[in-house]
Amino acid sequence: MQGMFTLGVPAWELACRAAIVYVALLILLRLSGKHTVGELSIFDLIVVIVIGSAVRTALLGNDKSVLGGLLVVTVLLLLDYISAFLSARFRKAEHVLDGKPVLIARDGVVFHDVLKQCNVAPGTFQSAMRSHSLTTAQIGQAILEANGNITFCRKPE
């Protein structure tokens, strides 16, 4: 029990570490491109697990206290709140932090080059179409949303 609530490093250092890791991960994950939600491959899962393990030391250093962990979590949640606040109020911040939707099909034509640029496998797109009970010919528009979901608009009949 001794040391459980005693910080091993100064609080300001933990807060700075959390902020640096948050911003770095935000940038790196934005650069890695969109991934369709719910279509997490085994490789994506491995990356998520390894990232969690890799940033542990970067976040906490040698601190093993409960207080240090809670401080880091508080800073991360605060930064997440600030990101959401900025995205909700400033369009430019929304595009930088959340990304922009991308048109990936129109009038029954799938833009395969755009799918490649967005790292969406053709099979993933086909699966999303099937889950919406659509054929390619029925697609008015398909949009890869900033959050990774694919939204379909049916052609008027």
pTM of the predicted model as reported, rounded to 2 decimal places: 0.72
CB 147 within 8 A of CB 98: yes
Helix and strand tally (H, E) in the chain?
A: 6, 4
Return the higher-pLDDT residue of 62 and 81: 81
pLDDT tens digits along 99-129: 889 999 999 999 999 999 888 889 889 999 9
Q: What is the distance between the alpha carbons of residues 111 and 122, in angstroms, rounded to a whole number?
A: 10
Give the mean model confidence (pLDDT) for residues 129-136: 93
pLDDT tens digits along 22-56: 999 888 877 776 655 555 667 777 877 888 888 88
Largest CA distance in the chain: 71
CB 105 within 8 A of CB 154: no
CB 61 within 8 A of CB 13: yes
